[in-house]
Amino acid sequence: MSNKGFKCARCGTCCCWSGYVRLQNKEVDGIAAFLDLTMEEFTAKYTVLTHDRRNLTLIEHEGGRCIFYEDNSCSCAINPVKPQQCRDFPLRWNFSDWEKECKGAQSVDIA
């Protein structure tokens, strides 16, 4: 399946998949500023070190949902500064069968 024409349906499914949301250094600074926190406050409250000890990742709620996903509105609390990994969905993700779970996949041009 091609990703050409993908348009996010804002269903939040991708925000509820368990797994790392790896943060780049500049993203840590940007998210912390957006939340009006120091970098140290942000990292202590909202991140953990990945198992390979190479990156910080956002923490998850039980079941894998992103800490910044807002169930009641199906939105991201940090949307203006969300990590590149999130902005790159699905174009740069290596998640097999994502189109079976993602409502936005219905808008994908099947090639």
pLDDT in 10s for each residue of the chain, 111 residues = 455 566 777 777 788 888 889 999 999 999 999 999 999 999 999 999 999 999 999 999 888 889 999 888 888 999 999 999 888 876 666 666 666 767 666 655 544
Predicted local distance difference test score (pLDDT) of residue 111 = 44
User: pTM of the entire structure?
Assistant: 0.79
**Which of the 8 DSSP states describes residue 32?**
H
Residue 44, amino acid? A
Residues 6+ positions from 56 with CB-CB distance below 8 Å: 22, 23, 28, 43, 47, 48, 49, 50
pLDDT on residue 34? 97
Query: φ and ψ at 85, to 5 degrees?
Result: -55, -40
Q: E strands along 20-71, which residues? A: 22-23, 47-49, 56-58, 69-70
pLDDT of residue 73: 82
